[in-house]
Amino acid sequence: MLDVRHFSELGIDRTGPMSVDLSTAALVEAAVRLTEGTLSHEGALVTATGEFTGRSPKDRFIVDNRSAKEVDWGAVNQPLPEASFKSLHARIAAHLAARPHYVFNGFAGADGRHRMPVRVVTELAWHSLFARQLLIRPTEEELDRHEPAFTVLSAPTLKADPERDHTRSKTVIAISFSQRVVLIAGTAYAGEIKKAIFSVLNYLLPEDNVLPMHCSANMGKGGDVALFFGLSGTGKTTLSADPERSLIGDDEHGWSDQGVFNLEGGCYAKCIDLKAASEPQIHAAIRFGTVLENVVMDPETRQLDYASRALTENTRAAYPLEYIPGAVVPSVAGHPRVIVFLTADATGVLPPVLRLNEEEAMYHFLSGYTSKLAGTELGVTHPEPTFSACFGEPFMPRSAETYAQMLGDRIRAHGVGVYLVNTGWTGGPYGVGRRIDLGVTRQIVQGALAGDLDRVSVRRHPVFGGSVVEDVPGCDPSLLDPRSTWQDKDAYDRAARDLAQAFRTNFERKFPGASEAVRQAGPRP
């Protein structure tokens, strides 16, 4: 049964109607009735998030108290006074209690040994549908005894007051590990709900010797598991949705002593320029029950324009894992055989694939290099090179070294092969070169997963280190050497040196205590 202590303990009487654990159909009906969204010609719920079409990582805070003693405080994990959190908590609870609101009870973590009961309370029906599709939906029996270990209160129409609340802006995402509550206000971007829960798990799971990972995962017919690490827009969802393999999950996983398991019950796919020919599984998943964020639709025909960037490049589709044919449900599997680090290099100088040894893998995991793609965060309008430790720094409350140590231990224990795959640009930087063709990337990944790239000739890259794979079955060898794709070879050399120096500068600033072997495994200008 629903526990409303978050209202009653604050002395707040609930006056607005409350809808608890509505079905997908009921939530779609509510969203349409309240003009929160419109149905597409195929039945997906099309919504718009307004001012915020991406995450606001600079507005995320963690309450500074004894329950957060292992938090790595800084620009990513900003402290919030406990008194400010309590004041915000009271205002958000009162805001929700005074108007119609929706409650979803579910779970995070497909492995029952490491499963966290979660409650999401929202003022928007489509946000509740989003939570229902992205989290793990309980059975009737599980629902009867559901007691949340963490609760999310989301009030997008309530604005924070920076002077009073000690926030940066009118938007706030605040986590209290002592209260076991997440507060979200001032933004309607639903991805904040998903990533707030992920942040919580990234703090709690290591206590159970589980490595939380910002990665997708799939499994071959023989049970071989592959992990795809990468920031938003690098290809995690696209490359893991492979018709020849079974999807375990597209974004968030845990790695325990038993193997890999999904932290979610759904997928959150980018759908800018989506085409059935190149991404058939994702395209087919957009149907009734799917939530589409900021996808442009013709109001008369209800046809979707996936190529339109009128609202944002960060258009999204949220749907249950079961919408992907052959998905692993429950999404639990064994230990991985291959790990792929995905980067979208906007400078155009990284090779399409590098094979990494153990020290190189640790260096690139800690560096987490990619280019932020347009729309994934507030204010990002074109690709911007960035370093995000563990390929997910905005969601990691503990030190990056904590997660890296856990990953390194597992790579050694299970003999995992590691590859760095560039899904970014070739022939020049963004604006000059072109994005590496998805078909080429798929050939590279298929070669890595089949073990073919373990048996081909390689050479050491003179600047970035690692082993440049010189032959990928079915791939033009000239594409594997990025320098050869640039018309101006001197310009390539300058750009490569600049990026290598950026790697060194970032690593020396962030990880001065890293071992000498790992420090020397990185690029050299």
Tell me the catalytic residues: 55, 195, 214, 232, 236-237, 251, 316
Pair of tokens at residue 197: 């829960």
Which of 246, 245, 228 lies closest to 237 in space, CA to CA? Answer: 228
Euclidean distance between CA atoms 267 and 273, whole angstroms: 18
Kindly list the distances between the CA atom of residue 82 and the CA atoms of 204, 276, 331, 398, in Å, as whole numbers in the listed order: 20, 49, 37, 19
Residue 252 forms beta bridges with which residues?
214
Euclidean distance between CA atoms 232 and 244, whole angstroms: 23
In this structure, are residues 423 and 234 in contact, taking their beta carbons and an 8 Å threshold?
Answer: yes
Pair of tokens at residue 239: 């490359």
CA quadruple 288, 272, 198, 515: dihedral positive or negative?
Answer: positive
What 3 state SS string does 17-35 have? CEEECCCHHHHHHHHHHCC
In this structure, are residues 317 and 282 in contact, taking their beta carbons and an 8 Å threshold?
Answer: yes
For 154, which DSSP code? E
In this structure, are residues 450 and 221 in contact, taking their beta carbons and an 8 Å threshold?
Answer: no
Euclidean distance between CA atoms 262 and 248, whole angstroms: 6
Euclidean distance between CA atoms 268 and 212, whole angstroms: 18
DSSP string covering 225-286 = EEEEE--TTSSHHHHH--TTSEEEESSEEEE-SS-EEES-SEEEEE-TT--TTT-HHHHHT-
DSSP string covering 491-524 = HHHHHHHHHHHHHHHHHHHH-TTS-HHHHTTS--
Euclidean distance between CA atoms 495 and 73, whole angstroms: 33
Query: What does the radius of gyration of the chain's CA atoms come to, in whole angstroms?
Result: 23
Euclidean distance between CA atoms 285 and 271, whole angstroms: 11
Residue 287: phi, psi to the nearest 5? -150, -165
